[in-house]
Amino acid sequence: MVMPRFVRPKEGDSESSPNLYVANCGPAVGLSFDTIASAFSSFGEVKGVYAADESGARVIVSFLEPASAHSAFIALNGRPCPHLGGRSLHIRHSILQPPSSRGMASVPVSLNASDLNIPGLYLFHDFISAVEEEQLLQAVDTGSWISLSKRRVQHYGYKFCYDTRNVDTKQHLGALPSFVSFILERISLSPDIPEKLDLDQLTVNEYPPGVGLSPHIDTHSAFEGLIFSLSLAGPCIMEFRRYIAGSWVPKTASRSDTEVENPNSCSEVPRKAIYLPPRSMLLLSGEARCAWHHYIPHHKIDKVNKTTIRRGSRRVSFTFRKGWRLENHLPWVQVRRGPCECEFPQYCDSQSQT
C-alpha cells in the first residue's frame, strides 16, 4: 500500500484543506495513532492519522471536512491538548499531493564518493570484514531496541532526540560500548581520514525492507564536523541534495521544512546519489556534512545504473558523532561555546538563531 504524501499548501489555500500537519505528536512521544484520532475527533470525523516522516513525532491528521481541520487548528495550535496529556501541539495546514506530481527523475548512482564531486564526502569500501560485521550484528541484537514508527534504534553515549534532531544532555548513557572499540581504533589510525575526533555518540538504526530516511542535515549545533556511518547487513542508495535557498530543522518542533514532510516536494535542486554496500564506511565532513541534505529513498529495490539490487531483510547502520563541549571543562554536551563558525550559515541552526 502506498501511503499518501502531503505538502504545505499555497497561500490562501489553507482553510480549504481537511488535513493538518501536527508536530510534537506521535508514537515517539507515547501517543498512538488511535489516541490521536480520538483526541481530534471532537472537532469532526477523522478519516485517518498518518506518519509525516520517520521521526515518530510528527503526524498528518486527515479530517472528512475542511471546517473540522480549521477548528482543530484554531483550538490547538501552540496550545496544550488536554486529551493528549497536556502536550503542546504545533500545527499547520497541509494538502494531499496529487499522484501525478510525486515522481522525480532518477539520479545516476555512483560507486565511489570521488565521482560525486561533493567536498568532504568519502566512502571506504570493506572498512570491516564479514566476520566483524556478524559480530557487530550479534552484539546489537542482544541489546535493547527502541521502536520508532518505521524502524528500530539504539543509542550509546547520549540519547538522540528525533523531535529536535539533537542529543539529550540529561541522558548520558556512559562510554561507547566495547564492541565498537576496534572501529574507533581503525578510524583513529586511518591515514585517509582528514581529522581525528574522540567520538562519543553512537546511534544504531535498523531499517526493514523499503524503509529509508527523510532528507536532513545533522544539526550543526549538536555535533562537531565529522560524521561516520557504517553500513551493515543490507545495501542501499543514499542521495544528496543541495537546497540553494538553505534549509535546516529547528530545535523546537514548532516549525518543520517541507522536505522533511515530503522529500519529493522540490525537484529543482542539485541531486547526486551513491551506492552504500555492506561493510562500507561513509564519512561526512566539510560541505558534505554542513550543506548537503542526505536522504535514503523508501525503496525495496534500488537501480544502480543498469543493475537491480534488492535491499535484503534488514539494513543496520552505526552512526558515530562527537558532541560539543561547554566552557570551563564541563562534561561533554551538545552546546557549543558560541555560534557555529561554518561557511554555510543558510543551513546552520546555530547561526540562524543569532
How confident is the model at residue 192, as a pLDDT? 81
pLDDT at 28 over 90: no
How confident is the model at residue 252, as a pLDDT? 37
Question: Do residue 28 and residue 124 come from a single domain?
Answer: no
Q: Is 255 a domain residue?
A: no
Q: Is 331 a domain residue?
A: no
34-85: per-residue pLDDT in tens?
Answer: 999 999 999 999 998 888 876 778 889 999 999 999 999 999 999 999 899 8
Measured between alpha carbons, how far is 321 from 224 in angstroms, rounded to an integer? 7
Domain's final residue, options 96, 130, 161: 96
How confident is the model at residue 330, as a pLDDT? 37
Q: Is 103 a domain residue?
A: no
How confident is the model at residue 256, as a pLDDT? 34
Question: Do residue 201 and residue 299 come from a single domain?
Answer: yes
Question: Do residue 68 and residue 192 come from a single domain?
Answer: no
Residues contacting residue 287 through CB under 8 Å, at least 6 positions apart: 118, 119, 120, 343, 344
**What is the pLDDT averaged over residues 193-219?**
84
User: Percentage of the chain surpassing pLDDT 70?
Assistant: 75
pLDDT at 164 over 70: no
233-279: per-residue pLDDT in tens?
Answer: 999 999 999 887 655 444 333 333 333 444 444 456 789 999 999 99
70-123: per-residue pLDDT in tens?
Answer: 999 999 999 999 899 889 999 988 877 654 444 445 788 999 999 999 999 999
How confident is the model at residue 311, as a pLDDT? 83
How confident is the model at residue 308, as a pLDDT? 85
Q: Is 34 a domain residue?
A: yes
Question: Do residue 87 and residue 168 come from a single domain?
Answer: no
Question: Do residue 67 and residue 162 come from a single domain?
Answer: no
Measured between alpha carbons, how far is 54 from 148 in angstroms, rounded to an integer? 7
How confident is the model at residue 333, as a pLDDT? 37
Could you tell me the pLDDT band of residue 349, with boundaries at 50, 70 and 90? low
Could you tell me the pLDDT band of residue 11, with boundaries at 50, 70 and 90? low
Question: Do residue 88 and residue 158 come from a single domain?
Answer: no
How confident is the model at residue 202, as a pLDDT? 93
Q: Is 186 a domain residue?
A: yes
3-state secondary structure the chain: CCCCCEECCCCCCHHHCCEEEEECCCHHHCCCHHHHHHHHHHHCCEEEEEECCCCCCEEEEEECCHHHHHHHHHHHECCEEHHHCCEEEEEEEEEECCHHHCCCCCCCEECCHHHCCCCCEEEECCCCCHHHHHHHHHHHHCCCCEECCCCEEEEECEEEECCCCEEEEEEECCCCCHHHHHHHHHHHHCCCCCCCCCCCEEEEEEECCCCCEEEECCCCCCECCCEEEEEECCCEEEEEECCCCCCCCCCCCCCCCHHHHCCCCCCCCCEEEEEECCCCEEEECHHHHHCCEEEECCCCEEEECCEEEECCCCEEEEEEECECECCCCCCECCCCCCCCCCCCHHHCHHHHCC
Domain's final residue, options 34, 61, 96: 96
Question: Do residue 83 and residue 174 come from a single domain?
Answer: no
Provide the number of structural domains found in the chain.
2
Question: Do residue 114 and residue 83 come from a single domain?
Answer: no
Q: Is 332 a domain residue?
A: no
Q: Is 83 a domain residue?
A: yes
Pairing of strands 281-284, 271-276: unpaired
CATH code: domain of residue 42: 3.30.70.330
Question: Do residue 234 and residue 178 come from a single domain?
Answer: yes
Question: Do residue 78 and residue 154 come from a single domain?
Answer: no
pLDDT: which is higher, 326 or 239: 239
Q: Is 187 a domain residue?
A: yes
User: Percentage of the chain surpassing pLDDT 90?
Assistant: 39
Question: Do residue 26 and residue 169 come from a single domain?
Answer: no
pLDDT at 212 over 70: yes
- Look up the domain containing 215 and give its range: 109-245+268-326+343-347
Residues contacting residue 94 through CB under 8 Å, at least 6 positions apart: 6, 7, 8, 9, 17, 19, 20, 21, 60, 261
Measured between alpha carbons, how far is 7 from 342 in angstroms, rounded to an integer? 30
Question: Do residue 62 and residue 154 come from a single domain?
Answer: no
